[in-house]
Amino acid sequence: MRTNVPTVVPQSLRPRIGKVCVAITGSTSAEMFEKASSVVKESPFLEFRLDYLDKPLLALPKLKHFLADNTAATVIATCRREAFGGKFTGSVAAELEILIKAAEAGCQIVDLELESAESLKKPEIVKLRDTGVAIIVSHHDFNATKDLDAVFARMEPFAPDFYKIVPTAKSLSDNVTLMRFLERMDHHSNIIAICMGEPGIISRVLGVRSGSAFTFAAATAGEETGPGQIAARTLIETYRIDQVDQATKIYGVAGNPIRSSLSPLMMNTAFRRETVNAVYLALQTTKLADLLKLVHEIPIQGLSVTMPLKQEIMAHLERTDPLSAKIGACNTVLRQDGKLYGFNTDVAGITGPLEKRMSIRGAKILVLGAGGAARAAVFGLRDKGADVFILNRTPETAQKLAKQSGAKTIKKEAIAKTPFDVIINATPIGMAGNKATQLLEAKDLNTKLVFDLVYNPLETPLLRMARQQNIPIITGIEMFVQQGARQFEIFTGKPAPEEEMLRVVIHALRQQAEAAPEPEPKSTTTKTEVKPTFKSTAKAPVKPKKKA
């Protein structure tokens, strides 16, 4: 049934179509056009989701004015019915009437759901065509990624100007199915293919790289019209989608949860700053097999690995650095000649900021926690000659770690009377949304320095308590940026732009805090000053030693 005749983007539309179409919604037409007017100067390619309005027909005169006022705008009109994931409760005949009137109002493209097209009579579709509008026939599967060729074959009889195929990714591997489909269809320049869902986020960037005519974006975060949709500004400024091409190297952060990770912002900013043709994506998965399949199927050059995969990935690496082997966890994977090499930059993220302030050799350091971050701290500090003490909620885990690393355990009651050079928090206590009681009280801070690995909020209750006693602090942001900077250097062999990385992360955290403020602390304090005190220590990527 498939034709071998290549289909292309209509000639008249080709210069008007960018890589990103911004979906415009609104519960009233006034709201919709206000939004469109604020977006159109930056992004003139828009989709008006008329199905979000109670009475879409009444918005069409305004749409006509909008198009007359914004001659550079290219507009898709969509009025998706409820049964197919939209909000329009009318009949297919009513949908067709709205699309015809939208075309007459000047929209260059209309979106007709495949099921609508299949239920319309041929003359009805001819009537829509006769308006001169370009037609997207679209198909959305909100449950899975199935046979995409079969969906395409159903669309072909309508000879649409664009084929829009949007399945849902349940795993990272579903993105591979989508990309392989796009590659098989590379003689068609008018297919739009994206995976919905959190694991499908990468398809919103990589789909375009594999040949999707364009992708869709939300006007702003919070206004997504499909699960996993990314805000237009993020796609354009952070992911630099306009510059993504076949030569663009692919990196990513893998784990769960990943959508709120600041790593894509930080690393893509670093790539942009250092003019590296690379993109860094959020790879949402809890299953290592799923991640490994993606890594083997698409040319991913490097990974940041986070919870829950840091330990499990070790068995699949050709070699690791000695500290990763001791810790039993790796947070950085580099692919060279098809093989995977592991590094642990969490250690440098902890020892680096300390070494800028003190000598670690011989220092007496208390580590709170005995999980992944604590293991990196304890082994890293022991490696540099510190006298390390561990306090953990589960004493057995602390004892095991102490035995493995040559550290000691300590009881809570002994802390106030034991002077330390540094106290490091490696538990999630103090993290935004974590309501657990603080492990230490003010009287326990018998130390010269407090380092909280938690980085959200910028000032944790522990850091606030330290600052109130005039004890110097190190924030978790410094660790986050340091471990990311070392990863950047491993990935690219270039010095990391640490100050810029720090700046964007702090800015993002402040914006998050403004959007969802934490409850006011009891005492009044000024904002934490986080000074970028880093110096780059770039080294070319080195192949680590053979795994022990």
CB of 253 to ligand NAP, least distance (A): 12
Give the nearer residue to ligand NAP in terms of CB position, either 50 or 401. Answer: 401
DSSP 62: H
Q: Cβ–Cβ contacts within 10 Å for residue 402, how many?
A: 21
CB of 130 to ligand NAP, least distance (A): 59
What are the structure tokens assigned to 43, written together?
């992004």
What are the structure tokens assigned to 308, written together?
């829950």
CB of 286 to ligand NAP, least distance (A): 14
Give the nearer residue to ligand NAP in terms of CB position, either 124 or 499. Answer: 499
8 A C-beta contact, residue 302 and residue 532: no
Give the nearer residue to ligand NAP in terms of CB position, either 165 or 378. Answer: 378
293 an active-site residue? no
8 A C-beta contact, residue 390 and residue 398: yes
CB of 377 to ligand NAP, least distance (A): 9
Q: Give the footprint of ligand NAP on this chain (CB under 6 A).
A: 307, 346, 349, 369-374, 392-394, 397, 426-429, 431, 436, 439, 453-455, 476, 479-480, 483
Q: What does the alpha-carbon distance between residue 93 and residue 116 come to, in Å, rounded to a whole number?
A: 9
| Closest residue by Cα to residue 328 from 400, 263, 393 | 400
CB of 371 to ligand NAP, least distance (A): 2
8 A C-beta contact, residue 192 and residue 182: no
Element (H, E) at 252: strand 249-255
Which amino acid, one-letter code, is at 232? A
Element (H, E) at 388: strand 387-391
78 three-class SS: strand
Using Cβ positions, the residue closest to ligand NAP within the complex turns out to be: 371
Give the nearer residue to ligand NAP in terms of CB position, either 215 or 284. Answer: 284
Give the nearer residue to ligand NAP in terms of CB position, either 39 or 374. Answer: 374
Give the nearer residue to ligand NAP in terms of CB position, either 33 or 480. Answer: 480
First and final C-alpha spacing in the chain? 56
- Edge-to-edge, what's the strand order for the sheet holding 74-78? 191-193, 162-166, 134-140, 109-113, 74-78, 45-49, 20-24, 215-218
**Candidates 35, 101, 164, 310; catalytic one:** 310
CB of 262 to ligand NAP, least distance (A): 10
Output phi, psi for 126, to 5 deg: -60, -40
Quick one: how far is CA 152 from the chain centroid? 29
Provide the annotated active-site residues: 310
